[in-house]
C-alpha cells in the first residue's frame, strides 16, 4: 500500500476553501469585465522555447519542464550526458508548464495579430507553476489573475488599472491597502544621475529590499555590486533628505521633482510627467475628486523585480498584515519583440489570489455568504413523507433556491447534524404531521427558531 500525498508546494482546496476562493475570483472577474477586458485562456503547457530566456537566468531554472513522452532518451547520446544536465534538458524536454500568464499572452498576441482589434484588453485567470522551493505564502502551483491592455501607450490605461485595483479590493472588503506607483524611467534616470547609467536593474533589486534589509543593507549590497560611495551619497540625497521624509503632500511627487532640479535628467523628467498625467486622468475618471487618493502613493523606491517593465510600475500592499505584496504590475514597451512583433506597448496588472486569501482570512473579512452555497436542506422521516418531500425540493429549485435533500430517512439528529456541519442556514422538516396539515416546519439553524408555514410562504421567506 502506498501513502497518499501531494507534491510539495501544491494544495488541495477543500469545498470550504473553494467557496471562499470563488468569492475572490468572481469579484475580480466581474471587475475585469466591468472595465472592458475580455477572457482568454492558454494551455497549461507551452513549448519550452517559448518560455526560456524570458525570465532571466534564474527564472529559467524555475520553469517546470515536461519530460518528452515515449523514449525520451532516443535523441540523446552519452556525450550529452557528459555535458551536464543543463544541455541535456533541451534534448529530453520540449514542453514546460507556464511560468506566468504574461509571456503566453504575448505569444498569443503575436500569433493572432491579424485577428485582434487593438488596443486589445484581455483578462486571464489560470494557475501557473514554478519549480521554486516553497515557503510561507509561496507555492509551486498558484493562480494569477491578469489584466493587460496592449497596443497603446496611452496613460489612460494606467489610470484605469489603478481604479480597477481600487475597485477590486473595495469589493473584497479590503479597505486598508496602499497602491504604490512609480515609473521605471525615474529609476533609470536616477541611475544616470548617480553615475551608474544602465545599472538600474541592480539598483532596483537593491532598493526593492529597503523594507527588509534597511538603509545599511541596501548600501552594502550596492557597494558589492560595484556602486561607489559617491553614487550612494547622491542616492541618499535624493531619497532620504529631510525634505523627502517630512513632506507627504500630495504624493510627494512634487518634492521629488523639486529635489531632482539639482540633478537635471531627461528620463526622470519624463517619468515624473507621466505619473503626473496618470494622477490627472485618475482625477478625471473619478469625477475630479471622489477617488480617495490617500490609497494611492507615489513611491520612488518601488522597484519590482521583473526586468521587462519600462514605464509605470504598480504594487499593492495590505497594511498591518504580515503578508507583503498582493498585487502588482506595470508597463512594458516591447514584450512581443522576442516573438518578432516589435513596438507593441502594453500595461497590465496581476492579482495574487493565494495571498489575497490569506489576507482576508487573517483580517476575518470573508462574508458569511462565502461559507455555504446551499440555502435550505429538506429533511423527512419515512417513506411516506419522502413522497411529499421530493416535490417540495423540486419547487424550491424551480424558484431558484439552492437546496438539497438528505437522501435517507435517517434520524433527525443525523440530518440536522449534516445541515449544521455544512452551515446550511435553513432546514425544512417533513413528517406525518406536515403531510397531514400541508404546513411544513421551517427551522432557522442559526437561531434555532422554527415555525409551521405553507410552502409558498417558505419560498417567499427564503427568497428574501
Partner RNA sequence: GUGGCCAUAGUUCAGCUGGUUAGAACAUCAGAUUGUGGUUCUGAGGGUCGUGGGUUCGAGUCCCAUUGGCCACCCCA
Of 89, 439, 450, 461, the residue at the interface with RNA (CB under 7 A) is 450
Distance in angstroms (rounded) separating the CA atoms of residues 180 and 313:
8
Q: Is 127 in the site for RNA (CB under 7 A)?
A: no
Residues 41-80 that bind RNA (CB under 7 A): 56, 58-59, 62
Residue 8 or 364: the one with the smaller Cβ distance to RNA is 8
Do 253 and 181 form a contact (C-beta atoms < 8 A)?
Answer: no
Residues 4-33 that bind RNA (CB under 7 A): 5, 7-9
Q: Is 384 in the site for RNA (CB under 7 A)?
A: no
Rounded to a whole number of angstroms, the minimum distance from the CB of residue 378 to RNA is 12
Place of cell 514597451: 333
Q: Is 267 left (phi over 0), alpha (psi -120 to 50) or beta?
A: alpha
Rounded to a whole number of angstroms, the minimum distance from the CB of residue 463 to RNA is 21
Rounded to a whole number of angstroms, the minimum distance from the CB of residue 35 to RNA is 20
Sequence-separated (6 or more) residues with CB below 8 Å from residue 366: 20, 23, 360
Q: Is 139 in the site for RNA (CB under 7 A)?
A: yes
Q: Is 325 in the site for RNA (CB under 7 A)?
A: yes
Q: Is 142 in the site for RNA (CB under 7 A)?
A: yes
Residues 220-259 that bind RNA (CB under 7 A): none
Rounded to a whole number of angstroms, the minimum distance from the CB of residue 435 to RNA is 8
| Range 304-334 burial, b when 16+ CB lie within 10 A, else e | bebbbbbbbbbbbbbeebebeebbbbbbbbe
Of 144, 199, 265, 295, the residue at the interface with RNA (CB under 7 A) is 144
Q: Is 310 in the site for RNA (CB under 7 A)?
A: no
Residue 17 or 138: the one with the smaller Cβ distance to RNA is 138
Q: What is the largest CA-CA distance in the chain?
A: 93
Distance in angstroms (rounded) separating the CA atoms of residues 146 and 309:
15
Rounded to a whole number of angstroms, the minimum distance from the CB of residue 412 to RNA is 4
Residue 276 or 433: the one with the smaller Cβ distance to RNA is 433
Q: Is 290 in the site for RNA (CB under 7 A)?
A: no
Residue 71 or 211: the one with the smaller Cβ distance to RNA is 211
Rounded to a whole number of angstroms, the minimum distance from the CB of residue 211 to RNA is 10
User: Cell numbers at residue 158, please?
Assistant: 494606467
Binding mask 389-418 for RNA (x = CB under 7 A): ----------------------xxxx-xx-
Residues 154-213 that bind RNA (CB under 7 A): 205, 208-209, 212-213
Residues found near RNA in the complex (CB under 7 A): 5, 7-9, 56, 58-59, 62, 100, 130, 132-140, 142, 144, 205, 208-209, 212-213, 304-307, 324-328, 350, 352, 354-355, 381, 411-414, 416-417, 419-421, 429, 431-434, 441, 443, 445-448, 450
Amino acid at each position: 500500500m502506498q501513502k497518499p500525498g501531494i507534491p510539495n508546494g501544491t494544495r488541495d482546496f477543500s469545498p470550504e476553501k473553494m467557496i471562499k476562493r470563488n468569492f475572490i475570483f468572481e469579484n475580480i472577474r466581474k471587475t475585469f469585465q466591468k472595465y472592458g477586458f475580455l477572457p482568454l485562456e492558454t494551455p497549461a503547457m507551452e513549448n519550452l522555447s517559448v518560455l526560456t530566456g524570458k525570465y532571466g537566468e534564474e527564472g529559467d531554472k524555475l520553469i517546470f519542464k515536461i519530460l518528452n513522452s515515449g523514449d525520451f532518451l532516443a535523441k540523446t547520446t552519452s556525450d550529452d550526458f557528459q555535458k551536464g544536465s543543463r544541455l541535456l534538458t533541451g534534448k529530453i524536454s520540449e514542453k514546460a508548464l507556464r511560468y506566468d500568464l504574461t509571456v503566453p499572452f504575448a505569444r498569443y498576441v503575436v500569433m493572432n495579430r491579424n485577428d485582434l482589434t487593438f488596443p486589445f484588453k484581455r483578462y486571464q485567470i489560470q494557475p501557473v507553476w514554478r519549480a521554486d522551493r516553497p515557503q510561507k505564502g509561496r507555492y509551486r502551483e498558484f493562480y494569477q489573475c491578469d489584466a493587460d491592455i496592449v497596443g497603446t501607450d496611452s496613460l489612460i490605461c494606467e489610470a484605469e488599472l489603478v481604479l480597477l485595483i481600487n475597485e477590486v479590493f473595495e469589493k473584497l472588503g479590503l479597505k486598508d491597502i496602499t497602491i504604490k506607483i512609480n515609473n521605471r524611467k525615474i529609476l533609470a534616470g536616477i541611475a544616470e544621475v548617480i553615475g551608474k547609467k544602465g545599472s538600474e536593474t541592480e539598483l532596483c533589486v537593491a532598493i526593492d529590499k529597503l523594507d527588509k534589509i534597511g538603509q545599511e543593507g541596501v548600501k552594502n549590497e550596492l557597494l558589492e555590486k560595484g556602486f561607489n560611495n559617491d553614487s550612494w551619497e547622491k542616492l541618499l540625497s535624493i531619497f532620504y533628505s529631510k525634505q523627502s521624509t517630512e513632506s507627504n503632500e500630495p504624493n510627494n511627487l512634487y518634492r521629488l521633482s523639486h529635489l531632482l532640479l539639482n540633478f537635471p535628467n531627461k528620463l526622470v523628467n519624463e517619468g515624473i510627467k507621466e505619473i503626473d498625467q496618470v494622477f490627472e486622468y485618475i482625477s478625471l475618471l473619478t469625477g475630479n475628486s471622489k477617488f480617495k487618493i490617500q490609497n494611492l502613493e507615489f513611491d520612488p523606491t518601488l522597484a519590482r523585480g521583473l526586468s521587462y517593465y519600462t514605464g509605470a510600475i504598480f504594487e499593492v500592499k495590505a497594511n498591518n498584515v504580515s503578508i507583503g505584496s498582493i498585487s502588482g504590475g506595470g508597463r512594458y514597451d516591447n514584450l512581443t519583440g522576442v516573438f518578432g512583433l516589435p513596438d507593441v506597448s502594453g500595461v497590465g496588472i496581476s492579482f495574487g489570489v493565494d495571498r489575497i486569501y490569506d489576507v482576508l482570512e487573517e483580517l476575518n473579512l470573508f462574508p458569511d455568504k462565502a461559507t455555504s452555497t446551499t440555502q435550505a436542506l429538506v429533511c423527512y422521516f419515512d417513506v411516506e413523507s419522502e413522497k411529499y418531500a421530493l416535490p417540495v425540493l423540486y419547487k424550491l429549485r424551480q424558484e431558484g433556491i439552492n437546496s438539497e435533500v438528505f437522501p435517507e430517512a435517517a434520524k433527525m439528529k443525523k440530518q440536522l447534524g449534516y445541515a449544521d456541519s455544512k452551515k446550511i442556514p435553513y432546514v425544512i422538516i417533513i413528517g406525518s404531521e406536515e403531510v397531514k396539515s400541508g404546513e411544513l416546519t421551517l427551522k432557522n439553524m442559526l437561531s434555532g427558531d422554527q415555525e409551521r408555514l405553507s410552502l409558498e410562504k417558505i419560498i417567499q421567506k427564503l427568497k428574501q
